[in-house]
Structure 1
C-alpha cells in the first residue's frame, strides 16, 4: 500500500468505529476476483479506498481478513445484472428488482483483498452511481475465519452532489434518495461514511477504520437478504 494511504489509515485509529451489520441485498455474486484494481472498463471519477480492521479491543490489527466489495457503475448497474430503472411512483421491492444474471462473464466493480499484518487493505475503483430508492453506497463483506459481517460503505451527500454535477454522472436524472432519506442508511449508516480527501475533478481517497467483532454471525448465515433494496 502507498505510504500516504497507510498514514491516513493509521491516523484514523483513534476514531475507529464498530463495523455495522447491514443488508447484503440482491446483487451479491460468488464472483469476487482477489485484486485491488476492480474498475475494469467502467467510466467514473477515480476512487481509492483504504480500510483497516481492528479486533474488539480497538488496538490489535486483524490480519488475513478476506474483504469482498461490490458496487454499481456510474449508471447504477451491477456487473452481471440488467439495468433497472423504476417507473415513476413505483415502490421498489426485492421482487421488482431483476435478480437473474444475464452476463456471467462480467466482473467489473467486484473484488476481494486480504488484510495485511497491519489489518489494512485497499481497492481502486470509481465513485458509485445511484439507482432507485438507494443512497450512494458500496457493499462489503468481511470474513474472519468461519465468521462474517456484511455492511455498506457510504459517502457524504455534499460530496456526492458535487461529483454528480460532472461527467459521466451529470447526464442522468437527479437521484431520488439521499443518506437522509435512505431506510438502510438510517440503521447505523452514519458510522460507515468514508473519510474522504480529494476533489470532484481528479478523484478521492476514502478511508475507514473499523472494529470487527469476532462474535459476528457465522458465514453460513450471511445469505441473500430479504430487504427491499441492494
Structure 2
C-alpha cells in the first residue's frame, strides 16, 4: 500500500485508550547480551548531552545545539500489530545477517532519558515479507515471494516510481491508499516490544531487513509513554513517536551479496529515492552502523538516539 504522510487513514483509538501487549509464553524473554553492551555515540550532526546535578542539560559537543532535534515522524504503515510480543530477540527462525539494534529515547526539550517507555519495532524479512501479512507482502525470491531464479544482485537503481508499503492485495495487484490492514496470518516474527531502562536505552536482536517494491530498507518503530507495565504487559498511555529507521546504501549493497538477500529478484529503491525518508540523516532515522566491511555476514551493530516529545501524541495514522 502507498505510505503517504499527507494521506490519513481511519483513526485508531487503541493508543489513546487501553493498550495491552501480550507476553509471549507468559514470561518475558531475558535481556539480550550484547558482548558487554553497545555504547551509544552521537554522530557529527548530533550533540551529546549530559544532565548535571541541577537537572540542566549541557552539551558535550562543539555544536551550538543544546539538545537533539525531534526525530522525524512518519506514517505507521499498514502492517502494525498492536498486540505484539514482549521480547528483545525478535528473530525467531528467520535467516539473515544478525542485527543488534540499540536505541536511546530522550526528551528533545530537556535531553533527559525517558525510562520505562514501551518501544515497538517491526520490519520485513530478508526477502521483503512481513509476518502477519505474508499473503499481502510483495517480496521477491524464495518461499512466499513468488520470485523467479535471480539473474544477479540488485544494482541499487530503482526501476519504477516508489509506491509505498506493499499493496493491499496480491503481488500482481495495484497500490492502494493509506490505512491499517488487518493481519492475514498468525506469524509474528521480526516484531517485538521492550521497555527502556533508566538511561532511556533499549536493545533488540533481529536481522538486517530486506527490501520490497517501492521502499528502501527500513524498520518501523513506535514509542509509548505514560502507560503501566503489568504482569500482562504494557497497558494504557499514548504513542509519542511513530517513525522509521533507515540504512545507508553501502550497508544495503553489502547485504545484497549475502544469502538469502542475494536471491531476491525484487527491484530496490535507494535511500535517496525513498519517499518516506526525509534525507535529514540521524534526525530522519538514519542508523549509525558498525560492521566488518569485508564480512557483513558476521553481523551489524546499529544505534540511534531518538528525540521525542513525550507530552504529544504521534500515532502515525
Please state which band the TM-score falls in when normalised by the shorter chain. Answer: 0.7 to 0.9
Matches within 5 A, 1:15-34: 16-34=68-86
Distance 1:18 1:187 in 2: 14
Structure 2 portions without partners, runs of 5+: 1-32, 49-60, 62-67, 141-146, 148-158, 170-180, 227-237
* 2:92 pairs with one of 40, 46, 54: 40
Larger Rg: 2
Distance 2:88 2:167 in 1: 32
1:74-110 per-residue CA deviation (whole Å, 9 max, x = no partner) reads: 110110112325999697467933345221x211000
Q: Taking structure 1 as the reference length, what is the TM-score of the superposition?
A: 0.84
Matches within 5 A, 1:173-188: 173=265, 175-186=267-278, 188=280
Distance 1:94 1:118 in 2: 33
Distance 1:190 1:60 in 2: 18
Distance 2:286 2:166 in 1: 28
- 1:61 pairs with 2:157: no
* 1:194 pairs with one of 275, 279, 287: 287
C-alpha deviation, 1:118, in angstroms: 0.8
| Conserved? CA contact 2:221–2:245, under 8 Å | yes
Distance 1:177 1:58 in 2: 36
> Which is further off, 75-84 or 189-198?
189-198
C-alpha deviation, 1:131, in angstroms: 0.6
Structure 1 portions without partners, runs of 5+: 226-230
Structure 1 residues 163, 31: CA separation in 2 closer, same or farther (over 3 Å shift)?
A: same
Distance 1:156 1:46 in 2: 17
Name the count of aligned residue pairs.
218
Higher relative helix content: 1
**Higher relative contact order structure (alpha carbons within 8 Å, sequence separation ≥ 6):** 1
Distance 2:282 2:107 in 1: 21
**Alignment root-mean-square deviation, CA:** 2.6
- Which position in structure 2 is the counterpart of 1:108? 189
